[in-house]
Amino acid sequence: MEIASSLIYILLCLSTLLLYHFIKKQKRNSKHKAKLPPGSMGWPYIGETLQMYSKDPNIFFASKQKRYGDIFKTHILGCPCVMLASPEATKFVLVTHAHLFKPTYPKSKEQMIGPSALFFHQGDYHNSLRKLIQSSLSPNPTTMRKLVPDIEALAISALESWAAGGKVINTYHEMKKFSFDVGFLAIFGQLNDTYRERLSENYCIVDKGYNSFPTKIPGTAYHKALLARKRLGQILSQIICERKEKKTLQKDLLGDLLNFQDEKGQTLTEDQISDNIIGILFAAKDTTASALTWILKYLHDNPKILEAVKAEQNAIYEANDGCKKPLTWAQIRNMPLTYRVSPTLTTLVFKMQNSTKKFRVTVS
């Protein structure tokens, strides 16, 4: 009994000493740690991801903002984060102290789009690809002149379908469809209908699963999206192989990516081309659709400007005998009022969105 009592006493002493040193170490480390904003980190590893997906994400972030303020910490999608929801904080990250931050994405998002997409990278690879894509998609006469008839056909088709439906439409959703179709034209030019349908079908599955809870359990939206993303890669590989076999020089984004060479003469792999095409579709679809939606709203809210723009467009409509003649590049270049309205409203949209958008900063 005495031996047992002695052992228990020794263990208690050792435990007390270990606990004392542990607490002392934690206090010492906390002095050197940067102070984080208020908030909750949730459970280990999963953080607050389940809470976010169990309700509308907008409600989740709004409740956090109401409780902790415009800057708060959380842990979602496997990443500890600091969320910003004020114009001042956003300006700090994007403008005045932009050099202190770099864009990062959860691994689940990177897997969905593809690790070689340019916005997952910095440095020479990012810069050279960004210049290439900006040049390829910029509204220059060489590329845009050829796309005008096809874009006009898409616009007419969309307007006719809205009118024939006889019901209220969701403007943002319709603008997403329109932006996606125009994006296809800019990337692939004239594409086989079978390829177009297969790409569109699988892209929609990826789009639905992109913001879903990242689990690879079969049947979940995320797992379905991963499988669809794999199929997208296979379809794009087929398109790339056919383009290489034909050895035709097409002035579209795919052609520019295939002909790209860096300073060392290195070309892009099929995976790099596929990842960047899917990344561009994701980046352009929502951003362009959002801008178009707000432009329509601002025009609706400003009747005088709307009437002036309509008068300018009606003049072109009449000159083309009521759409019997196709729209020309020269006519597009001769829309002074429309050109003034679009960039101005797009700038306002950008400022308005940046004043409320939440930016994630990884906590190291």
Q: Which residue, 91, 94, 92, 70, is CA-closest to 82?
A: 70
The DSSP secondary-structure symbol of 159 reads H
Span 109-124, mean pLDDT?
83
| pLDDT class of 357 with cuts at 50, 70, 90 | very low
Is 293:175 a contact under the CB 8 Å cutoff?
yes
- The 71-76 sheet, strands edge to edge: 71-76, 79-84, 359-362
What predicted TM-score, i.e. pTM, was given to this entire model? 0.73
The DSSP secondary-structure symbol of 94 reads I
| Higher local confidence (pLDDT), 48 or 3 | 48
| pLDDT class of 363 with cuts at 50, 70, 90 | very low
Lowest mean pLDDT among 208-222, 306-320, 342-356: 342-356
Is 171:132 a contact under the CB 8 Å cutoff?
no
Over 70: is that where the pLDDT of 155 sits?
Answer: yes
Span 202-209, mean pLDDT?
89
Instruction: List, in order, residues 6 or more apart from 29 with CB less than 8 Å away.
Output: none
The pLDDT score that the predictor gives to residue 237 is 92
Give tens-digit pLDDT for 262-293.
Answer: 878 788 889 989 999 998 888 777 778 888 88
Give the dihedral of Cα atoms 297, 302, 305, 306; nearest 10 deg.
Answer: 50
The pLDDT score that the predictor gives to residue 337 is 81
Residue 138, phi then psi, degrees to nearest 5:
-70, 150
pLDDT winner (highest mean) among 20-24, 244-248, 258-262, 348-352: 258-262
